[in-house]
Structure 1
Amino acid sequence: MSRSILLQVHPTRPEAQQAAELVANELRRQGIAPVHEDDLADHDVELAIVLGGDGTILRAAEVTRERRTPLVGVNLGHIGFLAESEVEEVADVVRRAVERDYVVEERMTLDVTVSRPDGTVERSWAINEASVEKDERARMIEVAIGIDGRGLSTFGCDGVVLATPTGSTAYAFSAGGPVVWPDVEAMLLVPTSAHALFARPLVVAPTSTMAVEVLARSFSGAQVWCDGRRRIDAPPGSHIEVVRGAEPVRLARLHTAPFTDRLVRKFDLPVSGWRGDS
């Protein structure tokens, strides 16, 4: 088979396993090899079909990051903002994949650098957000935040969320940040439970550098979580920088409905009374 498609499947959901079997059989019938993560190195996959929730999509983005493979998600989770379709639409997803009937949309990512006081440096990346979180439940962390090399404020807090527009509906939203349409070129900085007058969410340019310093006087160290999946320790005295990622994530879009419709559907928002242009 000359064509191959990655199947990334939630590891424990029975419905995901059942759907994966149906998808794999149909792909084979169409002359396309279904590939699983363990065999990815031996194949040049053209697309990843992801069966699960946003966590499964984030995993698929990890394993295909160097390949620039577009992802199409079939939601088997709860809200599933990254997913393109629901499970009852899986047959249509396969048909569209076979026919290459989709549009690839590039989404911003973040590149994250953590510089520790001992001179060590660790780097990672994120699709949704990099969150700086206290590592002791009973203590807050003391941080200084800065934009483009200039200090902006200092306060005690539970953490700071640094997010993309895609991640604005994830952790940043839960922390009180704004919903940002995914085609907006911007980045967000959202303090969580900050003890300060000026601790509002910030929206900055995509060319900016966002920074968080865990102050040496902080009551505890911090952990930097990238998409809630990759952890970097940040003891007091650490400096965290976040910039626009050099490598975007690619999502295969099957639907042309505006983001507004997705927001209403995912959050079950009431729109009765809306008259539009009438």
Structure 2
Amino acid sequence: MRTPISTIHLITKSGHTQAERLGTDIQRWLHRRGLQARIVPLDNYVHAEPGCSSLPDMILVLGGDGTLLRVAGRVAGLGVPILGINYGQVGFLAALSPEEWEAVLPRIVEGRYQISPRIVLGYGLQRDGGMVRSGWFINDMVVGRSGLARLVRLSIWSGGKLISALRADGVIVSTPVGSTAYAAAAGGGLISPELEVMEICPVCPFMSEFRPLILPSSQEVSIRVESTAPECFITLDGQSGWPLHQGDEISIQALQGRFLLVEPDGTSFFQHLQRVGYLSSGQEKADRE
């Protein structure tokens, strides 16, 4: 048992009528039980300091994994756990369905839940000897070409030593959370969220034996843009991005802070994999027999 939940912020997917309606219903349900619950617009949800008095005991996100990632990016390292109700396509992070909340939420507010810490990777972009951008990502960073068919040339380094140079559509650097997203589609492995690692996964490398590579997340890795023909872009968590220049170098390493995900008691990583179709539960075979 954990400390019971007494204050909750509810954040709904922008412009999603069903999510907004359910958010209002859950807020009323919480109020009837004497709990503090506030609906906060996603675009206005910013907290700057750990331990500030306005931080809730938990954040409940009604939306897809993309919405949950946007929220997590704003509160990573603040020690606020996040629970997701899925209104998206997959729902690997936002694991509850809209039909499950009435059965699960009473147990969670009583303290019957697990906290799953997930690593956050930080990055810094250097150009012409100076730092021009920095930040973090929770799912993945993609360095790759635009929609045109020509490949980009990249080199990957760690500790001053060259790991590989390649021509490819791009490279994905993912956390264990991101290993189930674009990296999985590109042939990467499925990584337990309990591991403190990052995965480097090439996207359609040309004449290269580079295989997906898993490294300690504490180890700094750098990606250098050797050629941008025709164009090369960086994309973070599938939500924001910008063009890169030849000679740009991006360094990646785990941050101290963690993103905290709420999971109801009895759930597991393998159940999530089975639910989204990455693993077979054996139920299909049993049904046929």
TM-score greater than 0.5 by the shorter chain: yes
Query: Which residue does 1:192 correspond to in 2?
Result: 203
- Pick which of 168-177 and 34-43 moved more: 34-43
The residue correspondences of 1:88-237 to structure 2 (distance < 5 A) are 88-117=99-128, 119-135=130-146, 137-215=148-226, 217-237=227-247
2:85 and 2:104 map into 1 onto residues whose CA distance is 8
Alignment-derived partner of residue 32 in structure 1 = 35
TM-score, scaled relative to structure 1: 0.89
| Aligned amino acid, residue 109 of structure 2 | V
Task: Evaluate the alpha carbon distance shift between residue 150 and residue 68 of structure 1 in structure 2; reply closer, same or farther with a 3 A threshold.
Answer: same
Between the two proteins, the alignment pairs up a number of residues equal to 273
Query: Is the 2:224–2:249 contact (alpha carbons within 8 Å) kept by the matching residues of 1?
Result: yes
The answer to whether structure 1 residue 20 and structure 2 residue 31 are counterparts is no
Contact 1:220–1:235 (Cα < 8 Å) also in 2: no
**Equivalent position amino acid for 2:188 in 1:** G
Q: Which runs of 5+ in 1 are unaligned?
A: none
The whole-number CA distance in structure 1 between the counterparts of 2:278 and 2:186 is 20
Identity %: 28
Say which of 268, 274, 277 aligns to 1:264: 274
Using the alignment, how far apart are the partners of 2:45 and 2:168 within structure 1? Answer: 44
Unaligned runs of 5+ in 2: 48-52
Aligned to 1:251: 261
Contact preservation (8 Å) 1:70, 1:250: yes
From 26, 34, 55, give the equivalent of 2:66.
55
Equivalent residue letter for 2:182: Y
- Give the aligned CA root-mean-square deviation in angstroms: 2.4
More deviation, 130-139/83-92: 130-139
Q: Which moved more, 1:223-232 or 1:193-202?
A: 223-232
Please give the alpha-carbon distance, in whole angstroms, between the structure 2 residues aligned to 1:207 and 1:103: 25
Residue 189 of structure 1 contacts residue 210 of structure 1 at CA under 8 Å; is this kept in 2? no
Deviant stretches of 4+, over 3 Å: 37-42, 272-275
Q: Per-residue deviation at 1:77? A: 1.6
